[in-house]
Amino acid sequence: MKIHEFQAKQLFATANVPVPQGVVVTSPQDAGKAFDELGTPVAVVKSQIHAGGRGKGRFKEHPEQAGVVLVKSREEAIANAERMLGSTLVTIQTGEEGKQVSTLYVEQGLDIARELYFGIVVDRESGLPCIIASAEGGMAIEELAEEHPEKIIRIEYDPGEGLQAFQVRKLAYALELDKAAQKSAMSFFPKLCKFFADNDCSMVEINPLVVTGSGDLLALDAKVSFDDNAMFRHKNFDELRDLSEEEPNEVKAQDAGLSYVKLEGNIGCLVNGAGLAMSTMDLIKLHGGEPANFLDVGGGANVDQVTEAFRIILSDENVKAVLVNIFGGIMKCDTIVEALLAAYDKIGITVPLVVRLEGTNVEVARKMLADSGKKIITATDLTDAAQKVVATLSA
Ligand code: ADP
Ligand code: MG
């Protein structure tokens, strides 16, 4: 689960991680008011979307307008907010379609001496949180990793013990922090590392982490995502969720207890089991097709869930054919067919449908399909199914 910059900064502040002062606004008038409230000679108006690269991003409706701007007066704050609110911001991370901005964060302008990069992710190999840092801030870490991998510092730490003093010194040395900033680092880095573990984060990225003229470290930008599997431990995070930032079908699927991820292709997939879903996608690709989604109905899906699954797949207008691949274990093949036939009647399936069934009650299920009188293509095994569904597209 991702959250907005202003939400991440509010959480940082509660964990005593220093952030600039800021005000959340949703109207140009309030942006002006926020400028006055902050009382700094310069303020920064920042678009709140779940994507980075806003500073370099531009609005579709106002090609000159950046997603993050420095303003020096109340009037300037209002004028920028007017262009930003309700408009669509396109950045390297949003894709061409961009994202509509409905909230702004107005922040005090800081006296920036240095911009650093700091992030924490989970390293799967060691199973530990890993700090990724660099003295080269402001730049995309992916580019830096390609061009100057030697400039990236990696430090793993024990989430139970927290970041140790010797690790902070190592980090401060590698980031070439001066005396004043080193002092600030002794509290900044351990607090952030604790924040990461306490909140079950999957990623924290601060780009840039700045050193101010007076040697203080501050999180100037903040990107935080949480591990969805740990959300039951953080019920209070529910209110941080911004559904308008999520793929509507993925939200619907989540509510129905289905695992669904939208993809770019045109073959809809309805499968039980994540492993089978992955191999189904692989086989579709192997035979020249492109999956439109990953969808795992799970081991114990009922008729309602399967109907919802069909509805979600078919609501994607890119879907030109559907492949149902079921291995009946706990889930019985006849349950799937029952749901499939019900869905057929309820929503009307107009694209070619290829079904491959195997496992518990497969005989009954096949007979139900054959007796249904519906236009359904059956397949004997996975390869056959993949070939048949790809063939429907060229037919
Ligand atoms: P993004 O990464 O989405 O482009 P950032 O929050 O990193 O957004 O902001 C882009 C740039 O704007 C920063 O690299 C920094 O130079 C400048 N900036 C952002 N917030 C402030 C601030 N409070 N004071 C001064 N400059 C800022
Ligand atoms: Mg940034």
Q: What is the pLDDT of residues 16-54, one digit of tens each?
A: 999 999 999 999 999 999 999 999 999 999 999 999 999
Single out the residue of 19, 34, 135 nearest to residue 78, CA to CA: 34
For residue 143, the cross-strand partners are none
Mean pLDDT over 286-307 rounds to 89
- For residue 300, say whether it is annotated as part of any ligand binding site: no
Q: Respond yes or no: is residue 205 known to be catalytic.
A: yes
Ligand 1 close to Cβ of residue 328 (< 6 A): no
Tokens of 273: 């089991």
Tokens of 4: 């907005």
Fold held by 248-392: Rossmann fold (3.40.50)
Closest atom, ligand 1, to C-alpha of 57: 4
pLDDT of residue 40: 95
Single out the residue of 358, 361, 345, 282 nearest to residue 376, CA to CA: 345
Single out the residue of 124, 140, 20, 137 nearest to residue 92, CA to CA: 140
> d(Cα 346, Cα 354) in Å, to the nearest integer?
18
Tokens of 203: 């990623």
> d(Cα 328, Cα 310) in Å, to the nearest integer?
18
- For residue 162, say whether it is annotated as part of any ligand binding site: no
Neighbours of ion ligand 2 (CB under 5 A): 207, 221
Residue 344 — pLDDT band, cuts 50, 70, 90?
confident
Mean pLDDT over 307-329 rounds to 92
Residue 204 — pLDDT band, cuts 50, 70, 90?
very high
Q: Respond yes or no: is residue 173 known to be catalytic.
A: no
This prediction has a pTM of: 0.82
Ligand 1 close to Cβ of residue 53 (< 6 A): yes
Pocket test for ligand 1, best of 90, 104, 106, 221 (most atoms within 8 A of CB): 221
Q: Please, what CATH class does the domain formed by 21-108 belong to?
A: alpha beta
Ligand 1 close to Cβ of residue 42 (< 6 A): no
Ligand 1 close to Cβ of residue 20 (< 6 A): yes
Closest atom, ligand 1, to C-alpha of 55: 4
> d(Cα 272, Cα 333) in Å, to the nearest integer?
11
Closest Cα to atom 9 of ligand 1: 55
**Reduced 3-state DSSP string for 55-73:** CCCEECCCCCCECEEEECC
Domain 112-238 architecture: 2-Layer Sandwich (3.30)
Closest Cα to atom 6 of ligand 1: 221
Residue 344 CB burial class (10 angstroms; 0-12, 13-18, ≥19): middle
The domain ranges of the chain are: 21-108, 112-238, 248-392
CA of 36 to the centre of ligand 2 (A): 25
pLDDT of residue 260: 93
Residue 305 — pLDDT band, cuts 50, 70, 90?
confident
How confident is the prediction for the chain on average, in pLDDT? Answer: 94
Q: What is the pLDDT of residues 145-199, one digit of tens each?
A: 899 999 999 999 999 999 999 999 999 999 999 999 999 999 999 999 999 999 9
Cβ partners under 8 Å of residue 296, min gap 6: 258, 259, 260, 271, 272, 273, 274, 276, 277
Percent over 70 (pLDDT), the chain: 100
pLDDT of residue 246: 87
> d(Cα 1, Cα 241) in Å, to the nearest integer?
7
- For residue 207, say whether it is annotated as part of any ligand binding site: yes
pLDDT of residue 360: 92
Peptide bond into 190 cis (omega under 30): no
DSSP per-residue letters across 124-151:
TTTTEEEEEEES--SS-HHHHHHH-GGG
Residue 371 — pLDDT band, cuts 50, 70, 90?
very high
Is the confidence at residue 293, as pLDDT, over 80?
yes
Residue 350 CB burial class (10 angstroms; 0-12, 13-18, ≥19): exposed
Is the confidence at residue 395, as pLDDT, over 80?
no
Q: What is the pLDDT of residues 205-257, one digit of tens each?
A: 999 999 999 999 999 999 999 998 999 999 999 999 998 888 888 889 988 98
CA dihedral 258, 261, 265, 270 (to 10 degrees): -20
Chain centroid offset of residue 156 CA: 24
Is the confidence at residue 301, as pLDDT, over 80?
no
pLDDT of residue 336: 86
Which entry of 76, 205, 260, 308 is annotated as an active-site residue? Answer: 205
